[in-house]
Structure 1
Amino acid sequence: MQERQPMITLTSLIGTPVTDAQGQLRGRVADLAVGTGDEAGRVMGLVLKARGGRALVPATDVRQTPSGALELRPEASPRPLADFENYILLRGDLLDRQIIDVHGRKVVRVNDVDLQWFDPATQAPSAGNLTATWDLRVREVEVGMRGAVRRLLQGLLPRPGIDSIASRFSPRVIPWDFVDMIEVDPARRVKLKIEHERLAQLHPSDIADILEELAPAEREAILMTLDEEVAAEALEEVEPKLQVSMVESLDSETAAAIVEEMDPSAAADLLAELPEERSEAILEEMHPEERQEVEELLEFREDSAAGRMTTEYVAVPVTASVGEAIQALREFEGDVETITEVYLVDADEVLKGVVSLARMVLAQPDTRLDVLTEIHFHTCPADAHENEVAELFDRYNLRALPVIDSKGRLAGVIEADHVIAFLRADR
């Protein structure tokens, strides 16, 4: 097995002297600027602290000397720090900050950063060439006691003594590939959006767990970087009181864009918990079609069947064929993964039958749906109490339950996850 090359820590680099080619001290390392995108994790420059203030030296203008100091090449030209605002500063942007461990699906705090030399020619880890151009990359972040002890003892003991004590603690690290940064500064949020594609790939419930661990400003930063559909799915999984807090922290336009992507029932429940003025402001920003659906649901009691139903379902004429129902499914704009049944209605929208997707799959495209309908299908009135709804799901092992009005017209559908949600909320 190939021997792992030694790491170098950010803590040990901070304060390292930097000289010119004549050995004159030009400053000490105050921070490291790390690339993003295609250069993700690569040290692009050193922030130097000198008498004249702070300046940044490109990595290509630095090499390491046999004494361990860093030396500027003769042609080196420090630049204003602002020139590197697109990069991540490991000390300023990362140390002591909360980050998301995308692999572990949790929020952690950074205590130190481990880096490793790479050979520029082979792109393989190396022990470091003392005459080579600076080519250092972030490999992992430390989130355990080892990094914390190293930071605590910095400046109090010689480096070998610090390393000896820190080595007694088991490492707790996250590979850089599994790190997702949280940035609450609006001026830099877009520039640090680099890793949020991985966050968006998590299950909505995992994102919800992460959001619940964060401070309010950080929650807002995460919501702002997520796709609106992903943000909506995650918001639906968040505890109701926290939902309200998170939406109230957003401006009405942003909140409306997210609420529009939520299930109408969930959106109505959320808006019902907001102050009336705030709820109306969000509704005003929504598109007319989505606004109408949510406003209709807001008229019902929250603990009624109508208050728990969704208006996103697939209904076709009672005379439709399997092929026509499949086409309706293809054109459905809601979350097709939640659909388990197709509903048959007459010209007056009166519910006439229910066909499971399983039966449709096994039938020929030209088969009429009315011959596949369930012999006994269950419905509930719009004003039924949620406890009655739960009893129906339990008694008949339902996947979904159509809700009808006083004239038998299909008003909406209650899905199994809606029942689970309100039963958990009542515990």
Structure 2
Amino acid sequence: MRDKLAIKALTTLQGTPITDVEGRLRGRLKDIAVGTGADAGRVAGLVLKTRNGLEVVPAKELRWTPSGALELRPEATLRELKGDENFILLRQDLLDRQIIDVHGRKVVRVNDVDLQWFTTGNVEDLRVSEVETGLRGALRRLLAGTMPKRTIEALVRKIPARVIPWQFVDMIEVDPARRVKLRIEHERLAQLHPSDIADILENLAPAEREAVLTTLDEEVAAEALEEVDPRLQKSLVEALDSETAAGIVEEMDPSAAADLLAELPDERSEAILEEMDPEERQEVEELLEFREDSAAGRMTTEYIAVAHTATVGDAIQALREFDGDPETVTEIYLIEENDTLKGVVPLARLVLARPETRLSVLTEPHFISVQGDAHQNEVAELFDKYNLRALPVVNGAGKLVGAIEADHVIAFLRGSH
């Protein structure tokens, strides 16, 4: 039978006397060591302040006494806390730190940590149950030492709890020189929407932003970076080494990548471009040649174009082979051999058409395009006037050179206010 014992806060546990089986005081609880990785949340040991300094004892070698003290089991052994152990110290490494609440999709500060004892027969198992982020934890710590612990607990219980279950907490490693190497699991963070990750990044301190960004998959990091405020976007990339930055920039939309690199000092931008794969580098370099406030400066080179004689089946195959983000595709462009734009087919029209249907019969009767040197204000006016989903960009000879997506226009309008 596995029974739960009462939840106790870290602040309340601190200073708890620890005795041996004969009742002699051996020390007082200073901190709690928690496992990482597969043992995440399980208390590995308790740190005691003794006459010999800081010593640690495995949690399984302690038991909770009815009087509210902790008692060492007969076989218990204390060893010196050296600082190279692979665990987290709750008081030292977690209190007052910023953490990511994955469930709430936000950044919060830790005011206290709640732990819970479990017992199976004669074996007791202590685990972290939740993290306190509200006033209750802050007040408990503020009042610590000023009155009996029971009185403090009676007071703070009247305050609504704001807690995060431990399984929804992601910690951030901010300083490689710290005593503890935190093993961070960011799979849950990577599953959040890029906009949510961007919000989290914007609410972190600079070093923590870099730590989070570099632990994400490059594709996820790129999607999040595109959602971040341009000024913060620039500072984030400047903090990364060129190779890491290049890996993330390669996964960005070419237009967004070009806009970002254009904001960096020339030397830094060139260093990142040199680390990029040749194909992605060429696309971005071509976009860098255009004025940022022009249609060409706002366009992406990731679009789907097929021959004007192609069928619906051909378009679907092109969609399957598309290397860019398929969620950004809203229309298929029809071109002649010299890449001259001949028609635009909304993606929705492919759904009901037979595979053998010619795309030319599904085209918009009057499609809109824009010259690459057109000002971005003209682009915004076209999107507004014709309620466009995307806008093809052509050169002076009518050759298709790119496409502007609605998101690009929204980003421009947002930045202009």
TM-score (norm 2): 0.95
Instruction: Tell me the equivalent position of 2:40.
Output: 40
Shift of 1:65: 2.0
* 3-state SS in 2 of match to 1:118: strand
Shift of 1:164: 2.6
Q: Distance in 2 between matches of 1:192 and 1:405?
A: 53
Q: Distance in 1 between matches of 2:181 and 2:313?
A: 48
Provide closer, same or farther for how the CA distance between residues 28 and 134 of structure 1 changes in structure 2, counting only shifts above 3 A: farther
Shift of 1:82: 5.0
Work out whether 1:362 is the aligned partner of 2:352: yes
Instruction: Tell me the equivalent position of 1:16.
Output: 16
Shift of 1:67: 2.3
Counterpart contact for 1:300–1:307, Cα < 8 Å? yes
| Letter paired with 2:280 | E
Work out whether 1:245 is the aligned partner of 2:235: yes
Shift of 1:77: 2.5
Provide closer, same or farther for how the CA distance between residues 140 and 387 of structure 1 changes in structure 2, counting only shifts above 3 A: same
Instruction: Tell me the equivalent position of 1:308.
Output: 298
Instruction: Tell me the equivalent position of 2:67.
Output: 67
Counterpart contact for 1:189–1:221, Cα < 8 Å? no
The answer to which of 219-228 and 100-109 deviates more is 100-109
The answer to which of 388-397 and 41-50 deviates more is 41-50
Shift of 1:360: 1.2
Q: Distance in 1 between matches of 2:409 and 2:44?
A: 53
Which residue, 382, 397, 413 being the options, matches 2:387? 397
Work out whether 1:417 is the aligned partner of 2:402: no
Alignment of 1:124-163 (within 5 A): 132-163=122-153
Q: Distance in 2 between matches of 1:134 and 1:47?
A: 17
Instruction: Tell me the equivalent position of 2:119.
Output: 119
| Letter paired with 1:118 | F
Instruction: Tell me the equivalent position of 2:205.
Output: 215
| Letter paired with 1:185 | D
Shift of 1:37: 3.4
Instruction: Tell me the equivalent position of 1:105.
Output: 105
Structure 1: stretches of 5+ with no match in the other structure: 122-131
Work out whether 1:196 is the aligned partner of 2:186: yes
Q: Distance in 2 between matches of 1:401 and 1:120?
A: 66
* 3-state SS in 1 of match to 2:363: coil
Counterpart contact for 1:62–1:133, Cα < 8 Å? no
Alignment of 1:312-351 (within 5 A): 312-351=302-341
Counterpart contact for 2:84–2:180, Cα < 8 Å? no
Provide closer, same or farther for how the CA distance between residues 65 and 222 of structure 1 changes in structure 2, counting only shifts above 3 A: same
Q: Distance in 1 between matches of 2:163 and 2:309?
A: 61
Provide closer, same or farther for how the CA distance between residues 7 and 297 of structure 1 changes in structure 2, counting only shifts above 3 A: same
Q: Distance in 2 between matches of 1:264 and 1:346?
A: 24
| Letter paired with 1:257 | G
| Letter paired with 2:134 | G
Work out whether 1:371 is the aligned partner of 2:361: yes
Instruction: Tell me the equivalent position of 1:7.
Output: 7
* 3-state SS in 2 of match to 1:99: strand
The answer to which of 29-38 and 153-162 deviates more is 29-38
Q: Distance in 1 between matches of 2:243 and 2:304?
A: 29
Counterpart contact for 1:35–1:42, Cα < 8 Å? yes
Provide closer, same or farther for how the CA distance between residues 33 and 189 of structure 1 changes in structure 2, counting only shifts above 3 A: closer
Provide closer, same or farther for how the CA distance between residues 274 and 118 of structure 1 changes in structure 2, counting only shifts above 3 A: same
TM-score (norm 1): 0.92
Aligned residues: 415
Counterpart contact for 1:33–1:84, Cα < 8 Å? no
Q: Distance in 2 between matches of 1:295 and 1:88?
A: 45
* 3-state SS in 2 of match to 1:337: helix
Structure 2: stretches of 5+ with no match in the other structure: none
Shift of 1:336: 0.4
Instruction: Tell me the equivalent position of 2:371.
Output: 381
The answer to which of 414-423 and 139-148 deviates more is 139-148
CA deviation map 1:329-365 (0-9, x unaligned): 1111111000011111121111111111111111111
Q: Distance in 2 between matches of 1:112 and 1:64?
A: 21
Q: Distance in 2 between matches of 1:310 and 1:15?
A: 61
Provide closer, same or farther for how the CA distance between residues 191 and 356 of structure 1 changes in structure 2, counting only shifts above 3 A: farther
* 3-state SS in 2 of match to 1:294: helix
Q: Distance in 2 between matches of 1:301 and 1:188?
A: 45
Superposition RMSD in Å:
2.0
Q: Distance in 1 between matches of 2:76 and 2:180?
A: 31
Shift of 1:44: 1.9
Shift of 1:87: 2.1
Q: Distance in 1 between matches of 2:318 and 2:374?
A: 29
Shift of 1:380: 0.2
Counterpart contact for 1:183–1:189, Cα < 8 Å? no
